[in-house]
Amino acid sequence: MGAEVYAFTRGTAKADDARRMGADHVIDTTTEEFWAPYNFTLDIILSTVDHFGPGTSLPQILSMLYIHGKYITVGLPPADEPLPALHPFALAKNASSVGSSFLGTKEDARAMLALAAAKGVVPWIEELPMSQARVALEGLKAGNARYRYVLRQDISPVA
């Protein structure tokens, strides 16, 4: 669709998959000073992170943004886990901004699905029976999902 895509990963286990999904570059956030080679490089970071581990530095992530770059979060951490601390100076260095995305209307969802269909975008899923929902939840927490779990009904309805 015309963008140069950088995928962020926690480790290298999913790097090849990220490239097969269309990433031009893969940034391993577990390497020391992963952000340094990318200072003032990215126009936008679309973050799907729903948990910020100890030591996560939002200023370091924001340093990768070009002038007037945007950090947009669509991941929703639990209410008791706010974004990492951020001093206004981190925004002033490159005039970056932090925002979120409106979840959209039913019409927006239809338009997004139509675009995905037109471009041949399909999800990478792992299907499990609903009786193994615990396995799926544990896999999510451990980062083992490739890339979404879909639960298939296999539990008899209760009368």
Number of helical (H) and strand (E) elements in the chain, helices listed first:
5, 7
Does residue 159 lie in a domain region? no
Does residue 80 lie in a domain region? yes
How far apart are the C-alpha atoms of 6 and 17, rounded to whole Å? 13
Residues 45 and 73 grouped into a single domain? yes
Residues 115 and 37 grouped into a single domain? no
Check residue 121 and give its pLDDT.
Answer: 87
Of residues 14 and 53, more confidence is placed in 14
Residue 159 has pLDDT above 80, yes or no: no
Tokens 């239809």 label which residue?
110
- Residues 85/56, Cβ–Cβ less than 8 Å: no
Residue 35 has pLDDT above 70, yes or no: yes
What does the pLDDT look like over 69-113, one tens digit per residue? Answer: 999 998 888 888 888 888 999 999 999 999 998 878 999 999 999
Of residues 54 and 45, more confidence is placed in 45
Residues 84 and 68 grouped into a single domain? yes
